[in-house]
């Protein structure tokens, strides 16, 4: 059990926390979750059709095709009824994850075509009004909205989450802290939410700024050890901040259920190839950082004030952000640092078998960010119609 029972006292909470374990992953596995919006093909407005779409997918065979009996894609509900989430199985690398997503997307698209809806891959919808969106039935979602109220109802956003298996609880927080150095790279690369409720926010990723308004979202605390994290869990359980570790919706967090580090810093994407590229980057980063942790050469983590500033810069400026690279406060254009990072990770990609997918990062940089394509589409429209921005982020067929 990982959920604190209602009315539990400090001793019961302490016993629960003692029982919480991080199940080590036998291998450096990979999993991906891809949130997609459902839009009307004519108006391009979000539509609450997730329940119908899921029912259609349940009528057919399980999403995807079993490969060697070890993994299978799936599709599930999300907070709002305008959203579905594609999930891969447990994968060895980004190539396998991309295959799972391709299978799953074909299955979901077939159901979406039957319903007469399109799939949207941006980080937020350019013109949707939060008050018009329906919350999915379920106690977990009801509790979230009841607690967070206005800010919770604002979460009309879409993202990509990547899980990487970790082989020891002792490695989790050094790796999380190491990954925070690359938080701005991921935000800038995926940024695709410049518009909000009909306005250009001036940000490349308004989703990034919006999501952190939830009380248990945003940047994680930079714990040094697993025992420090467990002490924190005891405190937040006793004081009723959360009743389950999964309610800590940090940008990068451990999954006690899966034995993974989950990276949640990315806006939505509209191509399987881009999702696979980002997954390869994160997979390679975790493997590279773990290797350096093992041989004692892991660089010191960025201080929290640099991490926070980098997050803001990437959200504001996207691929044009100047980010802080290290504890010496050296700075670089994020795209320059991204391309250097891809080159540095090439040997790791070869070992993981995801060289082609990692190479997709260079393609994404050259193509420009989703936020840039959205703004360009609106600028090219004779009427400056925001539907052009929505159309630019429809999931590629």
Query: Are the beta carbons of 48 and 282 closer than 8 angstroms?
Result: no
Q: Quick one: tokens of 311?
A: 């997050």
Q: Quick one: tokens of 296?
A: 């004692």
Q: Quick one: tokens of 316?
A: 């504001």
Query: Are the beta carbons of 238 and 10 closer than 8 angstroms?
Result: yes
φ, ψ of residue 81 to 5 degrees: the values are -75, 0
Q: Which residues contact 328 (CB under 8 A, 6 or more apart)?
A: none
Confidence at residue 1, expressed as pLDDT on a 0 to 100 scale: 47
Query: Are the beta carbons of 81 and 49 closer than 8 angstroms?
Result: yes
Q: Specify the residue for token string 């594609």.
A: 86
Least confident of 139-143, 161-165, 349-353: 139-143
Q: Which residues contact 75 (CB under 8 A, 6 or more apart)?
A: 53, 54, 57, 63, 84, 85, 86, 87, 104, 107, 108
Task: Please tell me the total number of residues recorded for the chain in this structure.
Answer: 397
CA dist., res. 272 & res. 285, Å (int):
20
Query: Are the beta carbons of 194 and 203 closer than 8 angstroms?
Result: yes
Mean pLDDT of 67-90: 79
Q: Is the pLDDT of residue 62 over 70?
A: no
Query: Are the beta carbons of 385 and 378 closer than 8 angstroms?
Result: yes
Confidence at residue 357, expressed as pLDDT on a 0 to 100 scale: 98
Query: Highest mean pLDDT range out of 65-79, 131-145, 209-223?
Result: 209-223
Taking CA atoms, 159 is separated from 156, 299, 339, in Å, by 11, 29, 23
Percent of the chain with pLDDT over 70: 96
Query: Are the beta carbons of 57 and 63 closer than 8 angstroms?
Result: yes
CA dist., res. 71 & res. 277, Å (int):
20
Confidence at residue 58, expressed as pLDDT on a 0 to 100 scale: 85
Average pLDDT score, the chain:
92
Query: Are the beta carbons of 169 and 21 closer than 8 angstroms?
Result: yes
Cα 301 to chain center, whole Å? 21
Q: How sure is the predictor about 60, in pLDDT bands with cuts at 50, 70 and 90?
A: low
Cβ-in-10-Å burial (0-12, 13-18, 19+) of 157 comes to buried
Least confident of 5-19, 238-252, 269-283, 299-313: 5-19
**Domains of the chain, start order:** 26-392 (3.30.590.20)
CA atoms within 13 A on the CB side of 302: 25
Q: Specify the residue for token string 């060697």.
A: 68
Where are any strands of DSSP class E within the chain?
30-39, 74-77, 83-87, 118-120, 159-165, 195-196, 199-200, 217-218, 249-250, 252-255, 260-267, 322-324, 331-333
Query: Are the beta carbons of 290 and 303 closer than 8 angstroms?
Result: no
CA dist., res. 106 & res. 104, Å (int):
5
Q: Is the pLDDT of residue 68 over 60?
A: no
Q: How sure is the predictor about 72, in pLDDT bands with cuts at 50, 70 and 90?
A: low
CA dist., res. 217 & res. 250, Å (int):
5
pLDDT, one tens digit per residue, over 381-392 is 999 999 999 999
Q: How sure is the predictor about 70, in pLDDT bands with cuts at 50, 70 and 90?
A: very low
Confidence at residue 131, expressed as pLDDT on a 0 to 100 scale: 81
Return the bridge partners of 119, or none: 38
Cβ neighbours around 380 below 10 Å, total: 10
CA dist., res. 313 & res. 307, Å (int):
10
CA dist., res. 293 & res. 287, Å (int):
10
Least confident of 110-114, 147-151, 297-301, 368-372: 147-151
Q: How sure is the predictor about 165, in pLDDT bands with cuts at 50, 70 and 90?
A: very high
Confidence at residue 161, expressed as pLDDT on a 0 to 100 scale: 98
Return the bridge partners of 262, or none: 163, 253
Confidence at residue 66, expressed as pLDDT on a 0 to 100 scale: 40
The pTM is what? 0.94
Q: Is 338 left (phi over 0), alpha (psi -120 to 50) or beta?
A: alpha
Mean pLDDT of 275-300: 97
Mean pLDDT of 25-36: 94
Cβ-in-10-Å burial (0-12, 13-18, 19+) of 108 comes to buried
CA dist., res. 8 & res. 148, Å (int):
23
Mean pLDDT of 207-229: 94
């Amino acid at each position: 059990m990982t959920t604190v029972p209602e009315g539990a006292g400090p001793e019961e909470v302490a016993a629960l926390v003692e029982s919480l374990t991080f199940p080590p992953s036998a291998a450096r596995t990979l999993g991906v979750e891809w949130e997609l919006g459902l839009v009307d093909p004519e108006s391009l407005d979000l539509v609450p059709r997730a329940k119908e779409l899921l029912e259609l997918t349940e009528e057919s065979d399980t999403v995807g095709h079993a490969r060697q009996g070890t993994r299978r894609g799936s599709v599930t509900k999300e907070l709002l009824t305008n959203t579905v989430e594609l999930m891969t199985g447990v994968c060895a690398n980004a190539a396998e994850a991309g295959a799972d997503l391709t299978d799953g997307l074909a299955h979901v698209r077939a159901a979406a075509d039957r319903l007469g809806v399109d799939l949207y891959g941006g980080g937020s919808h350019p013109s949707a009004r939060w008050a018009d969106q329906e919350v999915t039935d379920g106690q977990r979602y009801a509790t979230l909205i009841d607690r967070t109220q206005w800010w919770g109802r604002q979460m009309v956003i879409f993202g990509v989450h990547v899980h990487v298996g970790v082989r020891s609880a002792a490695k989790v927080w050094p790796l999380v802290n190491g990954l925070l150095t690359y938080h701005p790279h991921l935000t800038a690369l995926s940024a695709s939410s410049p518009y909000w409720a009909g306005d250009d926010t001036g940000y490349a990723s308004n989703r990034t700024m919006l999501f952190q308004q939830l009380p248990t979202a945003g940047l994680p605390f930079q714990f040094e050890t697993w025992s420090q994290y467990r002490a924190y869990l005891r405190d937040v359980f006793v004081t009723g901040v959360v009743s389950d570790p999964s309610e800590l919706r940090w940008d990068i967090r451990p999954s006690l259920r899966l034995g993974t580090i989950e990276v949640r810093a990315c806006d939505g994407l509209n191509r399987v190839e881009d999702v696979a590229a980002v997954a390869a980057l994160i997979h390679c980063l975790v493997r590279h950082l773990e290797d350096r942790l093992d041989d004692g050469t892991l660089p010191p983590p960025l201080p929290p004030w640099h991490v926070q500033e980098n997050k803001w810069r990437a959200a504001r400026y996207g691929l044009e952000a100047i980010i802080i690279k290290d504890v010496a406060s050296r700075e670089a254009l994020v795209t320059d640092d991204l391309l250097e990072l891809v080159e540095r990770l090439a040997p790791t990609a070869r070992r993981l078998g995801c060289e082609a997918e990692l190479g997709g990062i260079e393609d994404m940089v050259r193509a420009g960010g989703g936020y840039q394509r959205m703004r360009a589409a609106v600028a090219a429209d004779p009427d400056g119609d925001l539907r052009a921005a929505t159309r630019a982020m429809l999931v590629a067929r």
